[in-house]
């Protein structure tokens, strides 16, 4: 029996096929340009070359049908295993205040996720489309929702309540929720192992870096603050999102440019951040190459990104207390060492002593690495995240009736004997 995990977004679907329990990654892939036309699907099976197919137009139903089809194709070497799909784990962006842990999806759960769409219109709608498509194609297969928000339910009220009219929170759910929870969970548990401690003994700052970027302040293994808020727009500078700005800019520019609320929301989410400063719609590797070569706008954008991350680290040091480690994901480029160097440089006063050679030696391979000196009071780790393994283990535990909420669940990756999986993407 196997577990299929799906991360369904507006225009893409990321999928992984695990053996039961998540012990082995059998295949992984990505469907691009869902609903846009000119779609494609890529599939990587360990030991085989990546296979990419152009497929024209697919919606979410067609995309998941395509995923099931390529997994069952004899040429990909997973046919017999793929047809044994026993359950599907769906990443769901927003669980609001309703969901405090992963859950088996039934009609009531799905209706509640629908009712939460107003809190994450760009994300939950696509997640729902994926759930409905999978249910139509595999109606007898149990489905589980794994929420981005649940790791952060341990935040105290003074960290998640905004200084806004209190009825906005009570009536409309306006508060900090946070995202990338499975990634922060995985990073924190792996960091605890590397430190030789239990999770509840560790004070950490974890930094998830991808198209979206978020930081989490973790005290005694629990999230006590995180940079993303009501939506994934708040926080650090990201590829296309602005992150923190003076909110008065929004009505000012809406007036200046005669923009609607929907148009402004699109700009803040899709045309700001790195792309906003550089004007380049390019991948992370190209951006970092240009910054390293001295391109003025790219260097400026990287300096802004690093400065904002450094400020968050400083702020979270103040609330976490004595810090054990800062943890970076590997990021999306082989040149992430350059970005990390800018972030951790100058933090020696906080007991963070970077090792330049160690940092620059970190590649894109799936390795867990320390990039501070041996005598650094606070360690800095680079750890490849594995959100999908969290999904697979939650699915297995729920269907085996031995699941505890994430703070108390016995994850395999929290064990010193765990060997991190190599990515196949």
* Equal fold, 2-147+389-414 vs 197-382: yes
d(CA 190, CA 168): 37
CA–CA dist 416, 414 (Å, integer): 7
Please report, for the chain, the start and end positions of each structural domain, with discontinuous segments joined by +: 2-147+389-414, 197-382
**CA separation for the pair 107, 89 (Å, rounded):** 16
Is CATH 3.40.190.10 the classification given to domain 2-147+389-414? no
CA distances from 181 to 197, 208, 386, 388 (A): 21, 10, 11, 12
The CATH class, in words, for 197-382 is alpha beta
User: Which residue from 277, 175, 270, 187 is spatially nearest to 223, judged by alpha carbons?
Assistant: 187
Angstrom distance (rounded) from CA 166 to CA 171: 9
pLDDT in tens, the chain (425 residues): 899 999 999 999 999 999 988 889 999 999 999 999 999 999 999 888 899 999 999 999 999 999 999 998 877 667 666 668 999 999 999 999 999 999 999 999 999 999 998 888 778 999 999 999 999 999 999 999 999 999 999 999 999 999 999 999 999 999 999 999 999 999 999 999 999 999 999 999 999 999 999 999 999 999 999 999 999 999 999 999 999 999 999 999 999 999 999 999 999 999 999 999 999 988 999 999 999 999 999 999 999 999 999 999 999 999 999 999 999 998 888 899 999 999 999 999 999 999 999 999 997 566 899 999 999 999 999 999 999 999 999 999 999 998 877 677 889 999 999 988 765 54
Question: Considering Cα of 288, then 293, then 295, then 296, what sign does the dihedral take?
Answer: positive
Give catalytic residues, as residue numbers. Answer: 148
Say if residues 189 and 180 touch (Cβ distance below 8 Å). no
Query: Tokens 């009712």 — which residue?
Result: 115
Q: Contact, 41 vs 52, CB < 8 A?
A: yes
CB atoms within 10 A of CB 20: 17
Which DSSP string do the residues of 3-59 spell out, in sequence order? EEEEEE-SSEEEEEEEEGGG--EEEEEEEESTTTSSEEEEEE-TTS--EEEEEE---
Antiparallel, parallel or unpaired: β 12-19 and 25-32: antiparallel
């Amino acid at each position: 029996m196997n577990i299929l995990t799906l991360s369904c977004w507006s225009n893409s679907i990321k999928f992984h096929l695990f053996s039961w329990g998540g012990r082995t990654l059998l295949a992984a892939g990505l469907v691009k340009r869902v609903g846009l036309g000119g779609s494609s699907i890529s599939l990587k099976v360990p030991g085989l070359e990546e296979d990419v197919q152009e497929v024209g137009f697919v919606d979410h139903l067609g995309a998941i049908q395509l995923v099931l089809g390529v997994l069952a194709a004899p040429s990909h070497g997973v046919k017999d295993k793929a047809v044994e799909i026993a359950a599907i784990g769906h990443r769901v962006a927003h669980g609001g205040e309703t969901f405090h842990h992963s859950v088996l999806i039934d009609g009531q759960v799905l209706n509640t996720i629908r009712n939460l769409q107003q809190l994450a219109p760009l994300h939950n709608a696509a997640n729902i489309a994926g759930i409905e498509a999978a249910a139509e194609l595999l109606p007898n297969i149990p489905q589980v929702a794994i929420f981005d928000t649940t790791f952060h339910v341990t935040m105290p009220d003074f960290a998640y309540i905004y200084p806004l009219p209190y009825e906005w929170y009570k009536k409309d759910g306006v508060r900090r929720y946070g995202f990338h929870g499975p990634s922060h969970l995985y990073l924190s548990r792996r960091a605890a192992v590397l430190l030789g401690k239990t999770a509840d003994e560790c004070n950490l700052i974890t930094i998830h870096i991808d198209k979206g970027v978020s930081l989490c302040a973790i005290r005694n293994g629990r999230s006590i603050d995180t940079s993303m808020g009501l939506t994934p727009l708040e926080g650090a500078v990201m590829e296309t999102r602005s992150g923190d700005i003076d909110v008065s800019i929004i009505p000012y520019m809406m007036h200046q440019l005669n923009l609607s609320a929907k148009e402004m929301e699109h700009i803040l989410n899709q045309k700001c951040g790195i792309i906003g400063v550089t004007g380049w719609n390019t991948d992370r590797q190209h951006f970092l190459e240009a910054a390293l070569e001295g391109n003025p706008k790219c260097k400026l954008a990287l300096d802004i990104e690093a400065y904002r991350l450094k400020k968050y680290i400083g702020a979270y040091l103040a609330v976490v207390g004595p810090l054990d480690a800062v943890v970076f994901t590997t990021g999306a480029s082989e040149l992430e060492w350059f970005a990390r160097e800018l972030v951790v440089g100058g933090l020696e006063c906080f007991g963070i002593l970077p090792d330049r050679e160690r940092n620059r030696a970190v590649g894109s391979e799936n390795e867990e690495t320390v990039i501070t000196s041996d005598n650094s009071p606070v360690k800095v780790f680079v750890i490849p995240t594995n959100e999908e393994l969290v999904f697979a283990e939650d699915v297995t535990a729920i269907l085996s009736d031995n699941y505890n909420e994430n703070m108390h669940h016995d994850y395999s990756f929290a064990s010193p004997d765990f060997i991190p999986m190599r990515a196949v993407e």
